Each structure stands twice: as C-alpha cells, then as structure tokens.
Amino acid sequence: MRKSESVVIFLLLAVFFSGCIGQTTTGGNGVAIESFSVLGGTEIQPNTPISLSLVIRNKGDGKAQGVAAELIGIPTDISLTSGTSVQYVQDLIGPLTVGTTTTEGDSATIFWTLMAPEKDADVKYPLSVVVRYNYETQFSMQAKVVTQDYMYRTSEKSEIINQNFNSGPISIKATMPSITSSGGEIPIVLEFNNVGSGSAYTYGAQPTIENLGNLYFTITGAYCPGGSNVRLPKGKGTNSVTCKINTAGIREKQTYSVTVDTMYSYILDSSTTITVTGRLPI
C-alpha cells in the first residue's frame, strides 16, 4: 500500500473508530485480536528498540482470507526498523470439530521493531494497529407457509421451521411477520447483526467512509424489493431488510427454502501506549 493511501485510511479510521482507540479489541466471532503488546514493557529508554507483538486468531466457522495487519499513525519521530508497516499472513481456518474434540482456529503472530527517539522529558506515544480480512457468512432457512383459508380451517399458521448460519463477525437471522400467504407472496425480515467490534465494508475495497458498514448479499428463494445491500454500524450494530417469498400457486400449505450469502471485508483495531523516558541529567 502506498504511503499516501495509508495516511488517508488512518484519517478515515480515526473518525470511524473514534472513542475506541486505546481500548483492547477482541473481535467477536471471526478474526479476534488476542493481544497487541510491547515486549519487555511499555516504558522505553531513549534510542532503544521498541518490540511490538500482535496475536490474532480466527474464532469463526469460515476461512479468513487476505489477512493483513497494519501499524497506523506511527509518530514522525519514531522510526520503523524491522518489518513493514503492513504485514500479510496466510489464510486462517476457524475451529474444527472432530467427534467430541474441537481444536482452536488458526492463529498468527506478527512482530514489528521501532526505534525510540531521544527526549529530554518523559513522552507518551499511542501506537495503533488495524487488522483487515475477507470473510463469508452463509444463511439458510425453511419456512412453512399456509393460505388464509387453510389457517381458518385448521388454526395452523405460517412459521419458520428452521434457520442456521455459519458464525463470523456478521450473523443473520430471519423472522416471519405474517401468519398467512396473501397476494401470492409472504414477507420475511432478514436481520443482519455486526457481532464483532469492528466494521464490515465492501468486499475487496478500501475501508473508506463510503464503504465502511456497507454489506452486499445474494438471496435465493426470495427477492428483496429494496435491494440486496444493507448498512451496518460499527460494533454490535443491527439492520434489517424485508424480502418476499413468491407463493403463487400455493395450495393450502407448502414449505419454502431461502438461502443468503454475503462476502465482505472486515476491519478491527487495537491500541497501546508507550512512554519514552527522558534523558537523565548530566
């Protein structure tokens, strides 16, 4: 990534993540930041190396691809001496269950080395990292749909029989607000939840203000009059889309299947603070 692009992204993220810099981020399902720390302690002598360690792990059901970690906003008087500001790691597989045994998801550890400046007095410096990756959430459901006449005769109502999705930073669930088919269709409400502490954004794009929170999806077995995209706020945010199952030709009662697939990029951050101590008086 060019330096100018990193500066722009840093400024955009500073706005979007305002209020969370300085906090520890776990990430929810999907890729989690397990630790972002300074090896050897946060009090640094002047003109000595600063060793940073980042540990990330995939805790979701899917595969995290295109995983990258980037130090952002490095102070101008602190130099990076080892490792590039952006580092990429291999795809991370989520936890696997074999029989009664579940193994942890893949993890990666990334290191950077910086050089502390010389100062006359103690100075505190914030150091921040962002982690970006691509993920996919898949959802499926089956719904029992009945006609009005059939409901009046049997008291049986339309309902969702089952639904499931693979865990990740974005979850999906459905509700059915109507109890019968009417006019050859029946609505379902898809609720998209950001269960991570970061933000989804347009798959494969840069995390700009326009793309942050933007989620596109494909759906089979139903259609969505308002379009197949949704905006999700950062961290624990929720938004819903109303879609409709075509029930033309139904006779009394029928089961319908609906699937939803969404591919997206995701970004989360973490920060720490170091103190560069001043020179001892001569």
Lowest mean pLDDT among 74-88, 164-178, 267-281: 267-281
Residues counted in the chain: 282
Residues 217-244: tens digit of each pLDDT:
999 999 999 999 999 977 778 999 999 9
**Cβ-Cβ contacts under 8 Å for 180 (sequence gap 6 or more):** 145, 146, 147, 148, 150, 151, 157, 158, 186
Residues 28-47: tens digit of each pLDDT:
589 999 999 999 999 999 99
Amino acid at position 16, single letter = F
More confident residue, 279 or 138: 138
Per-residue pLDDT at 2: 47
49: β partners? 115
Dist. CA 103–CA 95, nearest whole Å: 5
Per-residue pLDDT at 3: 47
Q: 77-112 burial by CB neighbour count: b if 16+ within 10 A, else e?
A: ebeeeeeeeebebeebebeeeeeeeeeebbebebeb
Going along the chain from its start, the domains and CATH numbers come out as 3-134+267-276 (2.60.40.10), 137-265 (2.60.40)
Per-residue pLDDT at 102: 85
pLDDT over 60 at 270, yes or no: yes
Arithmetic mean of pLDDT over the chain: 88
Dist. CA 80–CA 51, nearest whole Å: 10
Burial of 253 (0-12, 13-18, 19+ CB in 10 A): middle
pLDDT over 80 at 12, yes or no: no
Q: Which residue has the tokens 């949704």?
A: 230
Torsion angle (degrees, nearest 10) of CA 202, 203, 204, 209: 10
pLDDT over 80 at 280, yes or no: no
Provide the pLDDT confidence category of residue 182 given band limits of 50, 70 and 90: confident
Provide the pLDDT confidence category of residue 120 given band limits of 50, 70 and 90: confident
